[in-house]
């Protein structure tokens, strides 16, 4: 029997739900900002109904005095602004007998699934309280209730309200602050007054989402053009870039469709500007023809795909790691390219910068894979310091002689001329070509250029950044995972090792080209278990197909949209290891 695990002794989980317009997400945003100002850490995930915009929504916060990016095992406090369609969130907001549920008792009663959880129920007249303060809203009274319950100082809440609602002016901020103070008086005693017992810090913190971190990393890498067509859950990346990239001499373009966006990226890059797009599975499908053009013409391009549940429109507001096969194999012909994957929100900064640099240096397509959970979670983290990867596009000399754009070189990377430079004009299209760029269907030219496009990727030295390795001395088992599952797996592995297990952990950041020999060496004489958030075990079969892991390796593959928590990973690992023995 396994028990829930947490990243530290001090964790507090809060969830808020409500129908469209009740302001559940606003409560979460203000509360997370206030906790950051109080000197603590936290992660906030969001959940929406299938309609993407409008309708019911919920936020789930996991707070701590230590860095944290895992989902909570259950909600210590759940605040329901109403109960409309709450059953849609039941799997994501687990309630137990240790939970406290606060709700507006002027509306419907808690549903049966809430009452049967054994949670302590407290009904408050939140809707009636709104009538006492002109211009107030019920969610601000609810925020006051939460602040009082967890022992969050009024100064931090006030500062967070002013930052979050500042653009709405005093007409909104003043009654909101009054409502928060009034909300503090609605419950006489505090059930979870825990923040006063935590060790706070005055260190600078970032309050950032994964999509924002992706945009920041791209800007650090020298991004000058972002072209995209809006799609959930990737649009946040472009929204973050829009007001910032122009200050750095760049541009954001919103295209008429995904194919046009990808072609804009290729055009901008061909003109000498580091370029990217952001999309999700359906949009990625529409872009693949143009991505092949980037590969064939050796034009640098970064594509960030934020996975969601599929197929087709699927579950656009929920997360799954189900597009791995798509980003690896979704091209016609031999199309060597690079695939990267950050392991948490903090890594979105450095991996995005690295990915753009790889595209520029290798003059090829780089696909960076994220997902809805990783992209739209908002976390409080320590600042991510800048890194100089020294990854830049290779240009020919100012006065080249006999310039050949696709020259066969030792490292298979040939100089890419600046557009319009005299004596360096060349043709860049989707046709196979000679070293000069002249179209050719000759077998020799095809073989040479195909080998060139492949070797520059496979022979490149990616250093130690290809994976995050946590090696346990005398380990018997090796767990391999990737993307947003990494944090839950890391916590579960740590917990099992503290109980006497000897498990090493490998989080893959570079998925293509696969570092097969390095993985083989790390897995030698170990039982290998691959964990991922999809039903078919896509990473597991990919590793097997390349002989990176032993044939006897085991797979733990679970479909979304209910995501891994440390306790579920720990239970699955324990069961798997017992079955092997």
What is the percentage of the chain residues whose pLDDT exceeds 90?
85
Tell me how far apart the alpha carbons of residues 207 and 28 are, in angstroms, rounded to a whole number.
12
Q: Is 93 a member of any domain?
A: yes
What HEC string does 332-350 produce? CCCCCCEEECCCCHHHHHH
Tell me how far apart the alpha carbons of residues 163 and 176 are, in angstroms, rounded to a whole number.
13
- Nearest Cα neighbor of 355 from 339, 379, 378 is 339
Dump the DSSP string for 483-528.
GGGHHHHHHHHHHHHHTT--EEEEEESEEES--HHHHHHHHTTSEE
- Nearest Cα neighbor of 437 from 447, 425, 426 is 426
- Whether residue 411 sits in one domain with residue 353: no
Domain boundary pick from 409, 441, 460: 460
* Contact in structure between 270 and 428 (CB atoms under 8 Å): yes
Dump the DSSP string for 120-187.
EEEEE-HHHHHTTSTT--HHHHHHHHHHHHHT--HHHHHHHHHHHSGGG-HHHHHHHHHHHHHHTTSS
Host domain of residue 518 = 464-580
- Whether residue 550 sits in one domain with residue 408: no
395 band by pLDDT with thresholds 50, 70 and 90: very high
| DSSP letter (8 states) at residue 65 | S
- Whether residue 560 sits in one domain with residue 483: yes
List the single range of 115-129, 187-201, 437-451 with lowest mean pLDDT: 187-201
Q: Is 387 a member of any domain?
A: no
- Whether residue 214 sits in one domain with residue 165: no
CATH number, domain containing residue 170: 3.40.920.10
Query: Above 60 in pLDDT, residue 104?
Result: yes
Tell me how far apart the alpha carbons of residues 142 and 97 are, in angstroms, rounded to a whole number.
22
- Whether residue 343 sits in one domain with residue 322: yes
Q: Is 389 a member of any domain?
A: no
Tell me how far apart the alpha carbons of residues 109 and 224 are, in angstroms, rounded to a whole number.
53
Residue that has been written with the tokens 């590969």 in this structure: 295
Tens of pLDDT, residues 210-226: 999 999 999 999 999 99
Q: Is 190 a member of any domain?
A: yes
* Contact in structure between 483 and 489 (CB atoms under 8 Å): no
Q: Give the pLDDT of residue 10.
A: 85
Task: Look over the chain and give the mean of its residue pLDDT values, rounded to a whole number.
Answer: 94
- Burial zone of 500 (CB within 10 Å; 0-12 exposed, 13-18 middle, 19+ buried): exposed
CATH number, domain containing residue 490: 3.40.50.920
Query: Above 80 in pLDDT, residue 190?
Result: no
- Whether residue 27 sits in one domain with residue 90: yes
Query: Above 90 in pLDDT, residue 545?
Result: yes
Query: Above 80 in pLDDT, residue 581?
Result: no
Q: Give the pLDDT of residue 48.
A: 81
- Whether residue 497 sits in one domain with residue 401: no
197 band by pLDDT with thresholds 50, 70 and 90: confident
Give the pair of three-digit tokens for residue 328: 């690896």
Q: Is 388 a member of any domain?
A: no
- Whether residue 239 sits in one domain with residue 112: no
What residues contact residue 348 under an 8 Å CB cut-off, 6+ apart?
A: 210, 211, 213, 214, 217, 342, 370, 374
> Which residues partner with 380 through β-bridges?
42, 207
Tell me how far apart the alpha carbons of residues 489 and 484 are, in angstroms, rounded to a whole number.
9
- Whether residue 289 sits in one domain with residue 354: yes
Dump the DSSP string for 8-33.
SS-EEEEEEEESTTS-HHHHHHHHHH
* Contact in structure between 122 and 77 (CB atoms under 8 Å): no
Dump the DSSP string for 423-436.
T-----SSS-B-TT
Q: Is 3 a member of any domain?
A: no
Query: Above 70 in pLDDT, residue 3?
Result: no
Tens of pLDDT, residues 302-346: 999 999 999 999 989 899 999 999 999 999 999 999 999 999 999
Query: Above 90 in pLDDT, residue 423?
Result: no
Give the pair of three-digit tokens for residue 409: 């070189």
Q: Give the pLDDT of residue 411.
A: 96
Query: Above 90 in pLDDT, residue 6?
Result: no
Tens of pLDDT, residues 276-286: 999 999 999 99
Q: Give the pLDDT of residue 432.
A: 97
| DSSP letter (8 states) at residue 549 | S
Domain boundary pick from 204, 236, 269: 204
Distances (CA, A) of 387 to 220, 439, 465: 9, 40, 12
CATH number, domain containing residue 304: 3.40.50.970
207 band by pLDDT with thresholds 50, 70 and 90: very high
Tens of pLDDT, residues 477-514: 999 999 999 999 999 999 999 999 999 999 999 999 99
Opening angle at CA 269, ends 363 and 373, nearest 5: 85
User: What's the domain count of the chain?
Assistant: 4
Query: Above 80 in pLDDT, residue 264?
Result: yes
Q: Give the pLDDT of residue 317.
A: 87
Domain boundary pick from 346, 381, 416: 381
Give the pair of three-digit tokens for residue 92: 């994501």
Q: Is 494 a member of any domain?
A: yes
Tens of pLDDT, residues 9-62: 589 999 999 988 899 999 999 999 999 999 999 999 998 876 656 678 999 999
- Whether residue 439 sits in one domain with residue 301: no
Q: Is 46 a member of any domain?
A: yes
Q: Give the pLDDT of residue 188.
A: 81
- Whether residue 172 sits in one domain with residue 154: yes
Q: What backbone torsions phi and psi does residue 227 show, to the nearest 5 degrees? A: -120, 135
- Whether residue 109 sits in one domain with residue 40: yes
């Amino acid at each position: 029997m396994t028990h829930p695990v947490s990243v530290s002794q001090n964790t507090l989980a809060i969830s808020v739900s409500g129908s469209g317009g009740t302001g559940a997400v606003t409560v979460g945003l203000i509360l997370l900002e206030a906790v950051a100002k109080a000197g603590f850490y936290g992660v906030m995930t969001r959940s929406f109904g299938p309609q993407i915009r409008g309708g019911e929504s919920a936020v789930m916060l996991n707070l701590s005095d230590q860095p944290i990016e895992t989902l909570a095992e259950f909600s210590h406090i759940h605040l329901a602004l109403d109960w409309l369609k709450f059953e849609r969130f039941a799997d994501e907001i687990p309630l137990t007998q240790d939970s406290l549920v606060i709700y507006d008792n002027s509306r419907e009663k808690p549903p049966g699934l809430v009452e049967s959880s054994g949670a302590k129920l407290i009904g408050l007249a939140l809707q009636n309280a709104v009538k006492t303060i002109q211009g107030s809203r019920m969610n601000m009274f609810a925020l006051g209730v939460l602040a009082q319950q967890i022992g969050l100082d009024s100064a931090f809440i006030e500062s967070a309200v002013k930052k979050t609602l500042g653009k709405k002016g005093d007409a909104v901020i003043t009654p909101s602050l009054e409502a928060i103070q009034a909300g503090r008086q609605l419950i006489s005693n505090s059930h979870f007054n825990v923040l006063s017992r935590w060790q706070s810090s005055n260190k600078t913190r970032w309050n950032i989402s994964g999509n924002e971190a992706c945009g920041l990393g791209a800007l650090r890498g020298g991004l000058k053009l972002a072209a995209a067509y809006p799609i959930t859950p990737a649009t946040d990346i472009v929204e973050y870039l829009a007001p910032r990239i122009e200050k750095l001499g760049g541009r954001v373009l919103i295209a008429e469709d995904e194919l046009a966006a990808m072609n804009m990226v290729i055009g901008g890059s061909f003109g000498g500007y580091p370029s990217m797009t952001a999309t999700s599975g359906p949009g990625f499908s529409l872009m693949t023809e143009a991505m092949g053009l980037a590969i064939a013409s050796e034009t640098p391009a970064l594509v960030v795909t934020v996975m969601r549940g599929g197929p087709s429109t699927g579950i656009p507001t929920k997360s799954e790691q189900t597009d791995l096969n798509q980003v690896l194999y979704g091209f016609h012909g031999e199309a060597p390219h690079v695939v990267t994957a950050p392991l948490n929100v903090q890594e979105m900064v450095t991996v995005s910068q690295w990915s753009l640099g790889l595209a520029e240096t290798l003059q090829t397509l780089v696909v960076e894979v994220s997902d809805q959970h990783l992209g739209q979670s908002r976390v409080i983290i320590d600042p991510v310091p800048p890194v100089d990867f020294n990854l830049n596009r290779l240009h020919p000399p100012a006065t080249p002689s006999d310039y050949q754009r696709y020259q066969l070189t030792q490292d298979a990377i040939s100089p890419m001329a600046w557009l319009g430079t005299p004596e360096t004009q060349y043709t860049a299209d989707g046709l196979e070509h000679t070293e000069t760029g002249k179209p050719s269907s000759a077998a020799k030219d095809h073989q040479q250029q195909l080998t060139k496009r492949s070797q520059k990727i496979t022979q490149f030295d990616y250093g130690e950044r290809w994976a995050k390795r946590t090696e346990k001395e005398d380990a018997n088992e090796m767990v391999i995972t990737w993307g947003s599952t990494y944090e839950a797996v890391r916590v579960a592995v740590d917990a099992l090792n503290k109980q006497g297990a000897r498990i090493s952990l490998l989080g893959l950041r570079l998925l293509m080209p696969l570092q097969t020999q390095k993985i083989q060496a790390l897995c030698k004489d170990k039982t290998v278990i691959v964990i991922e958030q999809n039903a078919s075990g896509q990473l597991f079969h990919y590793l097997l197909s390349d002989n990176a892991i032993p044939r006897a390796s085991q797979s733990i593959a679970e479909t979304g949209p209910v995501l891994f928590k440390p306790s579920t990973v720990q239970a699955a690992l324990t069961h798997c290891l017992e079955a092997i023995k």
